[in-house]
Structure 1
Amino acid sequence: MIRPAPSALSAFLLCGALAPLVGCAAASPLPDPDRHALLRSFEGKVLFLRTSLNVLPFFADDTRHLASPLHADSIHLLDDTKGVPIMPGAVVQVIPLGTKVRIEKVEFPTGLVVSRRPLYTPRDNPWVYLALPGFPRGRPFVVVLRQGMTTGDDYRAALNDLFSDDEPSLWMRNVSAEIRRAIEEKRLVAGMDAEQVMLSWGRPEHIRQTLEAGVRLETWTWPLKKRTATLRDGKLAAAAPPLESAAP
């Protein structure tokens, strides 16, 4: 039996788990009026990606793609029976920010929905189905949201973290070409601000703040603790894996 992954403390995305494989009885806590209002606001809309998304296998389900703002080594959705995280697989491509996507469906984990989802997938989480121009519609892209959201505002915050009505190039005009290219490719380069780091590697699980010799230090840690970043007075100074240079 697959065990739920520990709940992450990230404010928005990708910290859910899989319910027991037999006898799932999950329910969406979002009240019906909020759910219907959310569906009216998002389903069927064509929006811009506010952040680049990594495309990965959807665990054991080969009928869907997983689309995530996180890198593969920071995605913690399932554990095996020994508590070892089950990884979705390697990144197969990156969908750059600014890409137009259509939100086909926002699917809540009601008991009926969970019972119909494939085993060995994050069945107890909300799923957002995307359609992308130029890609076959037979294998949808799915963004997995975190568990525990109980209000429409929670869902809107999570979705607005990923999608925008505005073309990102409008607010990327003042970003250097080096940093803009790094964000599109989901890399980090020195000198990025906090928002740019988040756009590149996704939202961290933990942020630790300290003050040393008058310098404000922030240490960011992503799920599974394989990625960290250090910001000095709001600017990226170091990271693990090490900072990369932008492509020429």
Structure 2
Amino acid sequence: MIAFRISVNGTKICTAGIGPRGVLSVVVSQVAGAPAALLEDGHVLISGLDSDRREHSLWPSPTLRIGDEICIEILEADAVDPPWRRFPCAESYRDALLLHARAALSAFARSVRRDPDGQLATIAQSARDLLSRTAAAMVSRALGRPGARAERALIVEQNSRRICVAGVPRRGHVMCLITWAGGERQGSPSHFWFSVSGWNVRTDEDLSWGRPALDVGDHVSIRVGRSIEHDAPTRRAQDRTRRR
């Protein structure tokens, strides 16, 4: 079966696979100018959809910090790591959100029951870290020199060849998506999808840095960093749906 072997800073996270029919995806995202950006510099989501079982699967998805590098290898594998969680296909997007929320709340409740004092200490430490990062960001912005400054960016390479340095100034998000889709019908071909895209909040533009071809044997490296200069998008488009 087609599988994605995912590692962060050289440490294996998982080998994810879904079988001959379905969808397997890895999303590396980065948000700028939002509260979430104070808690993490980037995030990885590893998920799949098994068409035969009509099940969604989730694998461990770590948060990322500046300097972290995530590597995705596309390979054929006889065995893969079991997902962290499986749940039935939802009838609607709202149902899917509710399933995610219930799973997160249940996991948190179980951990609190096992170690209430430890969990409360963890929450308090997270609040202190958030306040500290917020204060540091405000001081840095107030005392920073005028002119160009290093903004968050995703540095993307494929087979050791640079694809782009993708970033959005001040407010917006950047996302690198790698997806494999198996045939819905017996004998129909599978295909890969690889794209680097984003959204600039200030200009209300959808951005694209290209859609390179991808195949078995390729490996993609995505580093979370800072850069004063970003590569210009290959495509810009106004998103009119957000204006309604």
Report the TM-score, using the length of structure 1 for normalisation: 0.27
Structure with bigger strand share is 2
